[in-house]
Chains A and B, each alone.
Chain A
Amino acid sequence: MPPAAPCRHPKLEPAPTAGLSRVISHRAGEWGRMGSWPLPRKLVPLIAGVILASALSHVHAAQPPATDFNVAVRPFLAQHCTKCHGERKQAGKLALHQLDGSLTSEKSRETWARIAEKLWLGEMPPEDEPRPSPHASGRVASWLTAEFARAGHKLTPPPSLELPGGGNRVSHEALFAASTTPGTPPPATAARLWRVSPQIYDELLRGELGKNARGVTQPFSTLTGEGFKDYAGAFTVDEPTTGLLLRNADAIVAAQTRFSYEAGKFKPAGNTMREFMALLDTNAPPTDVQLRAAIERQFKLVLRRSATAEEQERFLSFARKTMADAGQVTGARTTLAAVLLLPEAIFRSELGAGEPDAHGRRMLSSTELAAALSFALTDRPPDRVLQAALDKGQFAASREAAEREVRRMLADDALVKPRILRFFREFFGYHFATEVFKDDKENKDHEARVLVSDTDRLVEFIVAQDRDVFRELLTTRKAFVNFAVDFKKKTPKRATENKKNFHLAYGLPADWQWTAEQPVELPAGQRAGILTQPSWLVAFSMNFDNHPITRGKWVRERLLGGTVPDLPITVDAQLPNTPEQTLRQRLEVTKAEYCWQCHQRMNPLGLPFEQFDHFGRFRATERVQDKEATAANVDNKGKSRGPVFKEVSLDTRGVVALTGDIRLDGDVTDPLALIQKLAGSERVRQVFVRHAFRYWMGRNETLADAPVLKAADREYVESGGSFKALLVSLLTSDAFLYRVNPSSRAASVSTAPP
Chain B
Amino acid sequence: MNFLTRRSFLHGTTLGTGTALLAPMLQRLAAESAGVAAPRRFVFVVEGNGVNPEQVQPTTFPRRKNAQNQNDTDGLVDVPLAGHELSRAMEPLAEFKDRLTIIQGLSGRICGGGHSNNFGALGCYSSKKGAAGETIDCALAKAVPSLFPRVGLGISDRAEHSIIYNISAWGPDKAAPIQCRPDLAYNELFGSVAQGAGREDFVARGNLLDFMVDDVKRVERTLPAAERERLGNYLGAFESMKHRHSRLNEIQNTLRAKAPVVTDKFRSEVETDRLDAGFDIGTAALIGGLTNVLVLASGCGDPFFSVRFHGLGIPLDKHSIGHGKEHNGRPWDELAITIRRFHFEQMARLAKKLQAVPEGRGTMLDNTVIVYMSDAAESHHSRCWEWPMVVLGNCGGRLKTAGRFLNYPRYGHAAHRTTANFYLTLLEAAGVRRDTFGLSDPNLKDLKLKGPLPELLA
Contacts of A26 in B (CB 8 A): none
Give Cα A326–Cα B194 distance, bound, in whole angstroms: 12
Hey, what's the 0/1 contact readout for A195-224 against B, CB within 8 Å counting as 1?
100100000000000000011011011101
Q: Say whether B211 contacts A318, CB under 8 Å.
A: yes
Given A337-B208, A346-B234, A743-B225, A326 and B200 contact (CB-CB distance below 8 Å)? yes
Residue of A whose beta carbon sits closest to that of B201: A330
Q: Say whether A544 contacts B442, CB under 8 Å.
A: yes
Tell me how far the C-beta of A213 lies from the nearest C-beta in chain B, rounded to whole angstroms: 11
Q: Say whether A193 contacts B227, CB under 8 Å.
A: yes
Q: Say whether B173 contacts A60, CB under 8 Å.
A: no
Subset of 8 A-B contacts with CB under 8 Å = A192-B227, A217-B175, A238-B237, A247-B177, A322-B207, A333-B204, A338-B208, A343-B215
Supplied contacts A1-B445, A326-B207, A347-B230, 8 more A-B pairs, CB within 8 Å: A192-B230, A218-B173, A220-B173, A237-B234, A238-B233, A244-B174, A326-B201, A333-B204
Q: Say whether A318 contacts B207, CB under 8 Å.
A: yes
Q: Say whether A222 contacts B212, CB under 8 Å.
A: no
- Report if A66 contacts B (CB, 8 A): no
CB contacts under 8 Å to A, within B151-209, are 160-165, 170-177, 197, 200-201, 203-205, 207-208
Q: Say whether B160 contacts A439, CB under 8 Å.
A: no
Q: Say whether A215 contacts B163, CB under 8 Å.
A: yes
Hey, what's the 0/1 contact readout for A40-81 against B, CB within 8 Å counting as 1?
000000000000000000101100000000000000000000
- Report if A190 contacts B (CB, 8 A): yes
- Report if B219 contacts A (CB, 8 A): yes
Give Cα A338–Cα B209 distance, bound, in whole angstroms: 9
Tell me how far the C-beta of B433 lies from the nearest C-beta in chain A, rounded to whole angstroms: 14
Tell me how far the C-beta of A550 lies from the nearest C-beta in chain B, rounded to whole angstroms: 16
Hey, what's the 0/1 contact readout for A233-277 against B, CB within 8 Å counting as 1?
000111111111011000100000000000000000000000000
Contacts of B172 in A (CB 8 A): 221, 224
Contacts of B252 in A (CB 8 A): none
Q: Which residue of A215, A221, A240 contacts B161 across the interface (Cβ within 8 Å)?
A: A215
Interface of B is mostly: helix
Q: Say whether A198 contacts B173, CB under 8 Å.
A: yes
Chain B CB count within 10 A is highest, among A7, A222, A346, for A7
Q: Say whether A214 contacts B162, CB under 8 Å.
A: yes
Q: Say whether B230 contacts A4, CB under 8 Å.
A: no
Q: Which residue of A236, A241, A327 contacts B200 across the interface (Cβ within 8 Å)?
A: A327
- Report if B440 contacts A (CB, 8 A): yes
- Report if B26 contacts A (CB, 8 A): no
Q: Say whether B212 contacts A239, CB under 8 Å.
A: no
Q: Say whether A338 contacts B211, CB under 8 Å.
A: yes
Q: Say whether A191 contacts B224, CB under 8 Å.
A: yes
Interchain pairs with CB closer than 8 A, number: 147
Q: Say whether B164 contacts A215, CB under 8 Å.
A: yes
Contacts of B204 in A (CB 8 A): 322, 325-326, 330-331, 333-334
Q: Which residue of B162, B224, B233, B240 contacts A351 across the interface (Cβ within 8 Å)?
A: B224
- Report if B241 contacts A (CB, 8 A): yes
Residue of B whose beta carbon sits closest to that of A236: B233
Contacts of A191 in B (CB 8 A): 223-224, 226-227
Q: Say whether B163 contacts A221, CB under 8 Å.
A: no
- Report if A82 contacts B (CB, 8 A): no
CB contacts under 8 Å to A, within B423-456, are 439-440, 442-443, 445-446
Give Cα A220–Cα B223 distance, bound, in whole angstroms: 22
Given A191-B227, A334-B204, A544-B442, A221 and B174 contact (CB-CB distance below 8 Å)? yes
Residue of B whose beta carbon sits closest to that of A224: B172
Give Cα A196–Cα B68 distance, bound, in whole angstroms: 50
- Report if B337 contacts A (CB, 8 A): no
Residue of A whose beta carbon sits closest to that of B225: A60
Hey, what's the 0/1 contact readout for B38-60 against A, CB within 8 Å counting as 1?
00000000000000000000000
Hey, what's the 0/1 contact readout for B209-250 against A, CB within 8 Å counting as 1?
001100110010001111101111110111011000000000
Contacts of B205 in A (CB 8 A): 334
Give Cα A322–Cα B215 distance, bound, in whole angstroms: 16
- Report if A568 contacts B (CB, 8 A): no
- Report if A33 contacts B (CB, 8 A): no
Given A7-B439, A742-B224, A742-B226, A251 and B234 contact (CB-CB distance below 8 Å)? no
Q: Say whether B174 contacts A241, CB under 8 Å.
A: yes
Tell me how far the C-beta of B304 lies from the nearest C-beta in chain A, rounded to whole angstroms: 11
Given A4-B445, A543-B442, A239 and B227 contact (CB-CB distance below 8 Å)? no
Chain A CB count within 10 A is highest, among B161, B207, B229, B445, for B207
B contact set with A: CB distance below 8 Å: 110, 125-126, 129, 160-165, 170-177, 197, 200-201, 203-205, 207-208, 211-212, 215-216, 219, 223-227, 229-234, 236-238, 240-241, 439-440, 442-443, 445-446
Q: Which residue of B110, B129, B216, B240 contacts A239 across the interface (Cβ within 8 Å)?
A: B240
Contacts of B201 in A (CB 8 A): 326, 330
- Report if A342 contacts B (CB, 8 A): yes
Residue of A whose beta carbon sits closest to that of B112: A437
Contacts of B211 in A (CB 8 A): 318, 338
A contact set with B: CB distance below 8 Å: 1-4, 7, 58, 60-61, 190-193, 195, 198, 214-215, 217-218, 220-222, 224, 236-244, 246-247, 251, 314, 318, 321-322, 325-327, 330-331, 333-334, 337-338, 341-344, 346-347, 351, 435, 437, 439, 543-544, 741-743
Q: Say whether A1 contacts B439, CB under 8 Å.
A: no
Tell me how far the C-beta of B68 lies from the nearest C-beta in chain A, rounded to whole angstroms: 15
Contacts of A60 in B (CB 8 A): 225-226
Contacts of A439 in B (CB 8 A): 442-443
Tell me how far the C-beta of B394 lies from the nearest C-beta in chain A, rounded to whole angstroms: 30
Given A318-B207, A338-B208, A222 and B173 contact (CB-CB distance below 8 Å)? yes
Given A221-B173, A331-B204, A543-B442, A215 and B162 contact (CB-CB distance below 8 Å)? yes
Tell me how far the C-beta of A319 lies from the nearest C-beta in chain B, rounded to whole angstroms: 10
Contacts of B215 in A (CB 8 A): 314, 338, 342-343
Contacts of A330 in B (CB 8 A): 197, 200-201, 204
Residue of B whose beta carbon sits closest to that of A343: B219
Residue of B whose beta carbon sits closest to that of A198: B173
Contacts of A198 in B (CB 8 A): 173
Q: Say whether A240 contacts B174, CB under 8 Å.
A: yes
Give Cα A220–Cα B131 distance, bound, in whole angstroms: 11
Contacts of B176 in A (CB 8 A): 240
Chain A CB count within 10 A is highest, among B177, B200, B224, for B224
Q: Say whether A236 contacts B445, CB under 8 Å.
A: no
Contacts of B223 in A (CB 8 A): 191, 193, 351
Tell me how far the C-beta of B383 lies from the nearest C-beta in chain A, rounded to whole angstroms: 13
Contacts of A195 in B (CB 8 A): 230
Tell me how far the C-beta of A72 lies from the nearest C-beta in chain B, rounded to whole angstroms: 25
Closest 10 A/B residue pairs (Cβ): A221-B173, A242-B237, A236-B233, A326-B204, A543-B442, A239-B237, A326-B200, A334-B204, A4-B445, A215-B163
Q: Say whether A214 contacts B234, CB under 8 Å.
A: no
Contacts of A215 in B (CB 8 A): 161-164
Contacts of B240 in A (CB 8 A): 239
Q: Say whether B230 contacts A325, CB under 8 Å.
A: no
Give Cα A347–Cα B177 distance, bound, in whole angstroms: 24
Contacts of B238 in A (CB 8 A): 242
Contacts of B216 in A (CB 8 A): 343
Give Cα A58–Cα B228 distance, bound, in whole angstroms: 13
Give Cα A241–Cα B240 distance, bound, in whole angstroms: 13
Give Cα A2–Cα B440 distance, bound, in whole angstroms: 14
Contacts of A4 in B (CB 8 A): 440, 442, 445
Q: Say whether B175 contacts A244, CB under 8 Å.
A: yes
Tell me how far the C-beta of A43 lies from the nearest C-beta in chain B, rounded to whole angstroms: 27
Q: Say whether A343 contacts B234, CB under 8 Å.
A: yes
Q: Say whether A243 contacts B231, CB under 8 Å.
A: no
Q: Say whether A1 contacts B241, CB under 8 Å.
A: no
Residue of A whose beta carbon sits closest to that of B445: A4
Contacts of A314 in B (CB 8 A): 215
Residue of B whose beta carbon sits closest to that of A350: B227
Give Cα A48–Cα B388 distance, bound, in whole angstroms: 60
